[in-house]
Structure 1
């Protein structure tokens, strides 16, 4: 009798539907992460690739997922045909993802609107609001998919059913992030990655519809096909449209001016662009993830020239060099003519732009030059080689993937790969920094390299006849009205012998090709190079004592420099340089 009672109280077993629901949710997860990875690219290309913008994108994405699940809890019990609803939701996600191909073109207009805000917290709140509005619909729809399928799949074995659904969804998400980051974006670009993500959503919806409501397919197929083809074809996403177009062509602001796109390709670690400016597009600029890396402008060519020739002039007998970041290839080209040179570049697509900068990198691909595709820190950690020179020209300080090349730990790793008399050469931008930010980096640098010499790439009062050579030569007269805000900092464990006498001796050893190259930017004598010496390390002692050292654990520049982009003003541009020079001037006898 007791047995009978227990049996009558046990809920009947409710078999879960077939494998197709697990596969559908796996495809849905794959689509979600494919979209997330691909959406980050156009947003950061316009709104900057800072730690804050990336965090805002992820926050908006996750908030939409949470909102979708929360909303569905109120309706799910009233849904009579959950699998039909699930299919419709997947079709909706696909349609909106394709619509974003056009909506992303509104990003420049958004940027123009929020740049009027000069308070960082308000600025980033405005950016977050815009990103959230842009992504709210598809992410909210994504958030509804799990509770909808859970109602149909779970049955009486709640724990087992939820576990199976959750694992299927997450396995799909893992596959989607790998697929988008390592295969689709590098080979197909953002546009077709988004289209493939939408196809995955359609696949999840069709699969569910086919197994649950096959009679409905004939009603959904024609409009679904029309919407998919129409939005895929009409979506005006392109790098050019992010600057010059807008959704459906309604935004016509010409933010590029006379600039012309000469090259654009997606890579695993970002996208690479070359833009031509000025007469005949002669002044070519290299951009990585939408941010300037180098160019044929005089100030940039001077930086590359100094990173190449200062090492050679400091130690003409050196045998080996390491360059971190290929850029335009100019520094690598110079050093490989004098030493056995290795260049570490994380994004292979950068090297495909070398031909646009042949004026300053001629012969860069030679038997004396090895190129390694790797992260700089990873390469330094795994190599046993010692180098006489290491030249580091990373991207801007605020770039989320660049900031760890300015920390104490990275500098110590680099120092460990220098020979006994090795020299380390660091590019460092002062523009838009506050004095305490520069003080923090200089204190960090000094803690690793106790001896320093600091050069500037342009000195106040220089009057340079500069010619960009190419199909159409472009000559200009450049008068430096103030010291540049870009430094080349030389670091060493020993005193650095690079005074005027040493420069004259080393300069005399240069061949005619080297002298012609230096003459290109007005550095036609040892005196012209020595004039760029801003100060020696001893002159800055005491200036940075109160500053905090930058470490991997606290990479302060990554978090403070994006605020300078918001606060940007004419007063801020030279603030760090002026403060440092005033200190040196007062400390000199």
Structure 2
């Protein structure tokens, strides 16, 4: 009975479905792992997908020209699966060594956007060429095995295609919802590799190659042990930071000075907490989300103090993009009744409490705080809450999963959740934004809020170096914001922690604080009068422009704001 059921034909069909499942597990895991080096911009993600599909097409084409001449198809099916599995293991071992050639490529071409993208595609293609070509080559082999006669070729091919497609549905589900959350990215790749190797051994049982299995097993076991006991270094050189280095020696010196104290691969991102000479840093998929570095602490705190000092009596505050909790901790210094915080990654919530409580006033233990592990936009779509102050400081919009928190539609959604006298502060990553992107985002914000002002995070910057990049903040409201110097002065002096935080930034008076406001409403209108573009859900311009700025390293400066 079993022999009739598990014929070569039926076994090949089931194996092809499982092969499709492992292929999509690879696609999900490899995308995440490669993003640690190549970044997660819309261009990087599209390039990865193009390279993956190009390999499948090439493999299917090459094998299609030869498959009718092959005699022992089960053997070739097994060899292809074995090759994919071994490459999956080698991918984990060799990935850290991709950093050097990519750094060289970046140094050579980063000033030329389109040539760089084409070179990046070729780089991706070379990395994925071997496994994806073998994946593509399996389709003609299985089609040949499963096809019984020419009269039913359409029906037979439909079964083959359906089996592989079903596996391709299961693969991303298993990777995203089960494997990566439970065992991490590297072990997820190893699960896929193990599936390929087991399929190879099964197919060899139907071939003339079965007598050689006993010689293959020790080699296969060695590769599996190597793979399962190999772990990636927590810190990889990400494309975000390549432009800050002049040589590979400088890169190695910098990376060797970073001491990781926490590393976890989760369903949303790979989170690292690392100690450096400057302080403690939190990274998500290679991008710095928060740190105790002086420059970062300044903008993480000031984005809370701007609306909290200006609003006469905020009672309910929402912080979108909690990160390490520094902004939330600064909000907690005021006598508010309720603080809601949004953070999409539960791992970041955990490390915020475990590693950064000393710096965020242990804010997550404050009974006024409620943390929602959800996307910020989804939260606003599903809640009826209204707030006196909303502060949005998510990750950089260059990442494909973040740009929707910088669009006109998002700003309109925030506006619906503000009380009549409410204020909304939006962080703009000026240190990674060009003047063009900055102006588009200001214009987008201006199209939603009747009254806005633009602020910076450092009052010393203008005197010290007006050509340096700065963090900027947009403050929007329904009514013109009344500047009450006496209120600001009293709030600054109300608690020692507030006085200490602001004093550490050189802000010792209401006048010092107000010096951070670069533009009022009239100046903003003049600033954007010639800008006609908006960043919207339908046309997210910023998501496509921001990667170019990261390559050219031409970011907005104080002079761009003061001398417009």
TM (norm. structure 2) is 0.90
Deviates more, 1:349-358 or 1:439-448: 349-358
Counterpart secondary structure, 1:388: strand
Q: Distance in 1 between matches of 2:373 and 2:228?
A: 35
Tell me what 2:22 maps to: 31
C-alpha displacement at 1:152, in angstroms?
0.7
Alpha-carbon distance in 2 for matches of 1:293, 1:506: 29
Show CA shifts across 1:61-116 (max 9, x none): 00000000000111100110111110111000000111111221122212321222
Uncovered stretches (5+) of structure 1, i.e. residues with no partner? 1-14, 244-249, 464-478, 584-589
Checking the alignment, whether the CA contact within 8 Å between 1:123 and 1:566 is kept in structure 2 is no
**TM-aligned CA deviation for residue 217 of structure 1:** 6.2
From 97, 100, 123, give the equivalent of 1:130: 123
1:190 aligns with 2:185: yes
Matched, 1:363 2:345: no
CA distance in 1, matches of 2:357, 2:432: 31
In the aligned structure 2, how far is the partner of 1:542 from the partner of 1:514? 34
RMSD, aligned α-carbons:
2.5
Aligned to 2:43: 52
Distance 1:214 1:115, change over 3 A: closer
1:329-340 mapped onto 2 (5 Å cutoff): 329-337=325-333, 338-339=335-336, 340=338
The range that moved more, 169-178 or 225-234, is 225-234
Aligned to 2:291, which of 292, 295, 315? Answer: 295
- The alpha-carbon deviation at position 578 of structure 1 amounts to 2.1
Query: Which is greater in Rg?
Result: 1
Paired residue for 1:557?
Answer: 542
Deviations 1:286-329 (A, max 9, x none): 11110111211222111121222223212242221111111110
Alpha-carbon offset, residue 188 of structure 1 = 1.7
Report what 1:469 is aligned to.
Answer: none
- 1:324 corresponds in structure 2 to 320
Q: In the alignment, what sits opposite 1:525?
A: 509
Q: Which residue in 2 is equivalent to 1:348? A: 346
> In 2, are the aligned partners of 1:298 and 1:521 still within 8 Å (CA)?
no
Q: Distance in 1 between matches of 2:119 and 2:230?
A: 26
Q: 1:234 to 1:26 in 2, by over 3 A?
A: same
Secondary structure of 2:426's partner? Answer: strand
SS at match of 1:334: helix
Counterpart check, 1:64 vs 2:55: yes
CA contact (8 A) 2:303 2:327 kept: yes
Which of 510, 518, 525 lines up with 1:541 in the alignment?
A: 525
Write the deviation string for residues 478-530 of structure 1: whole angstroms up to 9, x where unpaired: x777665101211111111235344224334x223333343344334333322
Evaluate the alpha carbon distance shift between residue 107 and residue 214 of structure 1 in structure 2; reply closer, same or farther with a 3 A threshold.
closer
Confirm or deny that 1:21 pairs with 2:3: no
When structure 1 is superposed on structure 2, of 98-107 and 250-259 the one drifting more is 250-259
Q: Which residue of 2 aligns with 1:466?
A: none
Q: Which runs of 5+ in 2 are unaligned?
A: 1-5, 239-247
Find the aligned partners of 2:346 and 2:49 in 1 and give their Cα distance: 27
Measure the CA separation in 2 of the matches of 1:360 and 1:241.
26
2:104 maps to 1:113: yes
Structure 1: distance between partners of 2:520 and 2:203: 70
State the match for 1:273 in structure 2.
272
Tell me what 1:6 maps to. Answer: none
Distance 1:16 1:236, change over 3 A: closer
Partner of 1:147: 140
Q: Residues 122-146 of structure 1, C-alpha deviation per residue, up to 9 Å, x if partnerless? A: 1111111111111100000000111
Aligned counterparts of 1:359 and 1:530: Cα–Cα separation in 2: 29
Provide closer, same or farther for how the CA distance between residues 41 and 541 of structure 1 changes in structure 2, counting only shifts above 3 A.
same
**Does the 8 Å contact 2:180/2:267 carry over to 1?**
yes
CA contact (8 A) 2:37 2:236 kept: no
